[in-house]
Amino acid sequence: MGATKRGCPSHSEQPMQLKPPGSPYRCSGCREVGFGRSYHCENKNCGYILHEECATAVSFAFHRFFPRSHFELYEEAPGHRVRYCDACGKDVLGFVYHCSSTGYDLHPCCLKMKDSISDEEGLVSLQLCQKVPSKCVKCKHRNVVDGIRGWSYVSSDSGGSCCYHVWCVKQLILENLNKGYFSREIGMSESESESEREYSQLAVRSMDMVRSRRSTRRSGTMKKYTKIAVLVFKLVFSAVFGNPITAIASLVEALVSD
């Protein structure tokens, strides 16, 4: 596998190796959770791991939402106060892009979130927005917390625009991660079946976040919006955390076909 640009500080003589998506992990750089591809230190006694975005982060960057900002990568937040990411609203605990003139901060993964995402069939298309046209479907607010607007993925349909805070998606996954709904290892078929039930429960509890505001009692129409709902869940999850792990992808496909 290819070597990363940023190495392990304790074993700089060894290149870090790119690994495919798998179990959830905590990035040693930005301290955020990840599910997608990651770089690992080759030393078997070292647990240093980086998001692909953190491992290959450039020293200077820009973002279209902050045209007056010139971001520089820091390995820890500058200054003496608690800083938060202006994209997701969560605290900065490690690697961060900071602009000294405007004061804005962005997690490396948030900086690289896609401007737009859509499914292969073209049923769902979401745009990353700084200013939202309506309240978040999950938290029912425009701001993630007082004074922090946060970015959102916005889906437009004939019923109006539906917004999904990046912060709410992160919070939803973290809460369920802490409850054990993402098994790190799946062994025998019985354990695999149990894990799939856990993923199913997660998806069911998540439906409030991805459900269309339009409701109906007709089963055919409800099935259509259920399909769209799980597609939204899959797309937003992928945009925020990287490609979903196999079990989640399989779960979404199973729910769509029900």
d(CA 87, CA 91): 11
pLDDT tens digits in sequence order for the chain, 258 residues long: 444 578 898 988 888 899 888 778 899 999 999 888 899 998 888 989 999 999 999 999 999 999 999 999 999 989 888 899 999 999 999 999 999 999 999 999 999 999 998 877 777 889 999 988 888 888 888 888 777 788 999 986 645 578 889 998 888 888 777 766 665 443 333 444 444 454 445 555 555 555 444 444 455 555 556 666 777 777 888 888 876 555 455 444 544 444
CATH 3.30.60 domain range(s) in the chain:
1-56, 57-112
Q: Taking Cα atoms as reference points, which of 225, 219, 230 lies closest to residue 159?
A: 225
Q: Which pLDDT score is estimated for 188?
A: 32
CATH 3.30.60 describes domain 1-56? yes
Q: Which pLDDT score is estimated for 220?
A: 53
The class of domain 57-112 in CATH terms is alpha beta
Element of type H or E holding 152? strand 152-157
Q: Which pLDDT score is estimated for 187?
A: 36
Q: Which pLDDT score is estimated for 104?
A: 95
How many residues would you count in the chain? 258
Q: Which pLDDT score is estimated for 258?
A: 46
Question: At 94, which amino acid appears?
Answer: G
Give first-to-last CA distance, the chain, whole Å.
38
Max Cα separation, the chain? 63
